[in-house]
Amino acid sequence: MSHSALATIILSAGKGSRMKTDLPKVLHQVAQRPMVMHLMDATATLNPEKMVAIVGHKAQEVSNCIKAEYPTCLFAEQKEQLGTGHAALMAEEALKNFTGDVLILNGDVPLITADLLQKIYTEHKTQNNSLTLTSAIAEDPTGLGRIIRDAEGNITKNVEQKDCSAEQALVKEANVGIYIVSSDYLFDLIKQTGNNNAAGEYYITDIIGLAIEKGLKVGSYTVDDPKPYLGVNTPLQLAENERIYQMRKREMMLLSGVRMKAPESVYFAYDTKVGAGTYLGANIHFNAGVSIGENAYIEGDSYFTDSNIANQAMVKAFSHVEGAKIATGATVGPFARVRPGSDFAENTKVGSFVETKKATLAQGASVAHLSYLGDATIGAKTNIGGGTITCNYDGVNKHQTIIEDNVFIGSNNALVAPICIKEGATTAAGSALTEDVPAQSLAFGRARQTNKIQPAKTVKEA
Ligand code: UD1
Ligand code: CA
């Protein structure tokens, strides 16, 4: 088994006309992550010496996306999309000093896993192949290249769907689009391909037949289930890839000890983390950046984005949580709208129809009903009465509300910021407070009730 170095090439220059949108195809997302990034993640696990992405259609957009997370990735531009072979050839300059194996992938096959790549790579090395391709026995291989074998079962070439004879079209073994080729031959082989075919393109797949003609050792790795590897050419296939991704992720979560009422109705992002023993209700949607600890309880019909929810926290139904930190033992919802910058400490309570934004609640603080807390700092064990609003916006600027520990805010208060309610203070229900309240004092910000004697009512007789 050889131990040569590895380089990777991801073909991501195509426009993806069959997607019928302006967005470059490889930037369409599966589980909230651009397809090409799934492939970057999977290839990176092989520790390649060099990674090259071929960009073309909206090159800047695609390379910016990759660069943001893989700053050492090299880029080669394919100015005109003349086919997958031509695309791979663009990597020649970037790999001119590289010797070893080159892994080439299509950028539109986001369900390829690190595990699969490892298996193909191992096969390539143990067989001492010069070229290893990946195939799948597909029930319906329409649109895919066919792997043609001779009577002994040896690979002879790949023929693209458009170029298939009637007989070749019946072949069920399809090309998945993952190749490992020794750098000794790769670019020479590509240069020998022509574009005399139905698409008028330079096909990378033609190097298979050429390598065999040259007498190089060509092998294949065949996957059991072809469905995940057929690639995304249309919105229908994108939806199908999403479905498969979600199925895999749900299964992984369940096996790791997450409990789910209706797994088929929970939608994860690629990076969602949920700890063992946590319960997830039905219809939960995770956007990117969410991590939930162990033994938390998350009721259904809720949405989560970019948030950290600790062990044993509870989020009740119909809540929207974004950019938040929710600590152990905190309770949120039902019907809570938790916006970015919300930070709830241990054993806090944010109840029904409460909206928070840039609001910090210290341990044991409670805002149980129908309130808005924006740009606010709430002290430990402070209780905010129902219907309280922090008036944080004067039409031009935002201002802070600070409420210290052990404060009791009566119901239906309007706290006009900037304002500070000091430790242990109490405010009367229905107050509109515009000035700071000293510690331990009782603030009234409303007219006192007066009861007047009214003239006796005369009752008309019928
Ligand atoms: C390709 C294979 C086919 C295989 C299938 C698997 C060829 C000729 N055919 O077909 O055998 O069964 O994948 O999914 O390779 N690209 C470029 N520049 C180009 C053309 C394409 O960078 O000039 C990129 C695309 O962005 C895409 C990838 O290469 O990520 C594959 O191109 P696509 O047109 O989707 O190839 P398929 O027709 O699916
Ligand atoms: Ca494709």
Q: 6-229 in CATH: which number?
A: 3.90.550.10
Instruction: Quote the pLDDT of residue 3.
Output: 58
Distance separating alpha carbons of residues 216 and 210, to the nearest angstrom: 9
Cβ atoms < 10 Å from Cβ of 97: 6
**Using the 8-state DSSP alphabet, how is residue 296 labeled?**
-
Ligand 2 geometric centre to CA of 108 (Å): 6
Torsion angle of the four alpha carbons 358, 405, 336, 253, in this order, in degrees rounded to the nearest 10? 90
* CA-based nearest residue to 142, from 167, 172, 166, 109: 172
Mutate to test the pocket of ligand 1, among 36, 80, 84 (most ligand atoms within 8 A of CB): 84
Residues 79, 56: contact at Cβ < 8 Å?
Answer: yes
**120-144 as b/e: b if 16+ CB within 10 A:** bbebbbeeebbbbbbbbebeebebb
Please name the residue whose Cα sits nearest to atom 8 of ligand 1: 203
Residues 35, 10: contact at Cβ < 8 Å?
Answer: no
Mutate to test the pocket of ligand 1, among 82, 106, 137, 206 (most ligand atoms within 8 A of CB): 106
Please name the residue whose Cα sits nearest to atom 11 of ligand 1: 145
Residues 421, 403: contact at Cβ < 8 Å?
Answer: yes
Q: Which two tokens stand for residue 318?
A: 């119909």
CA atoms within 13 A on the CB side of 303: 10
Write down the pTM of the prediction.
Answer: 0.93
Residues 382, 358: contact at Cβ < 8 Å?
Answer: no
Domain ranges of the chain: 6-229, 235-443
Ligand nearest to the CA of 12: 1
Question: How do the pLDDT tens digits run along the chain, 462 residues long?
Answer: 555 899 999 999 998 999 999 999 999 999 999 999 999 999 999 999 999 999 999 999 999 999 999 999 999 999 999 999 999 999 999 999 999 999 999 999 999 999 999 999 999 999 999 999 999 999 999 999 999 999 999 999 999 999 999 999 999 999 999 999 999 999 999 999 999 999 999 999 999 999 999 999 999 999 988 888 888 999 999 999 999 999 999 999 999 999 999 999 999 999 999 999 999 999 999 999 999 999 999 999 999 999 999 999 999 999 999 999 999 999 999 999 999 999 999 999 999 999 999 999 999 999 999 999 999 999 999 999 999 999 999 999 999 999 999 999 999 999 999 999 999 999 999 999 999 999 999 999 999 899 999 888 887 877
Distance separating alpha carbons of residues 279 and 292, to the nearest angstrom: 10
Please name the residue whose Cα sits nearest to atom 13 of ligand 1: 177
Instruction: Quote the pLDDT of residue 230.
Output: 83
Residue in 3, 57, 86, 369 annotated catalytic: 369
Q: Which atom of ligand 1 is nearest to the CA of 12?
A: 26
Q: Identify the helix (H) or strand (E) that includes residue 166.
A: helix 166-169
Ligand 2 geometric centre to CA of 344 (Å): 46
Residue carrying the six token digits 């309280």: 388
Residues 214, 207: contact at Cβ < 8 Å?
Answer: no
Distance of CA 425 to the CA centre of its chain: 45
Residue 29, SS3 per DSSP = strand
**Using the 8-state DSSP alphabet, how is residue 19 labeled?**
G
Ligand 1 geometric centre to CA of 231 (Å): 9
Q: Residues enclosing ligand 1, CB less than 6 A?
A: 11-14, 25-26, 54, 56, 78, 81-84, 86-87, 106-109, 144-145, 158, 160, 174-177, 203-205, 230-231, 233
Triad 137, 151, 212: Cα angle to 5° = 80
Distance separating alpha carbons of residues 140 and 169, to the nearest angstrom: 10
Which residues are placed with Cβ below 5 angstroms of ligand 2, an ion? Answer: 108, 231, 233
Instruction: Quote the pLDDT of residue 457.
Output: 82
What residues form DSSP beta bridges with 291?
273, 308
166: CB partners within 8 A, 6+ apart:
none
Mark whether 28 is an active-site residue.
no
Report, at the CATH architecture level, how domain 235-443 is classified: 3 Solenoid (2.160)
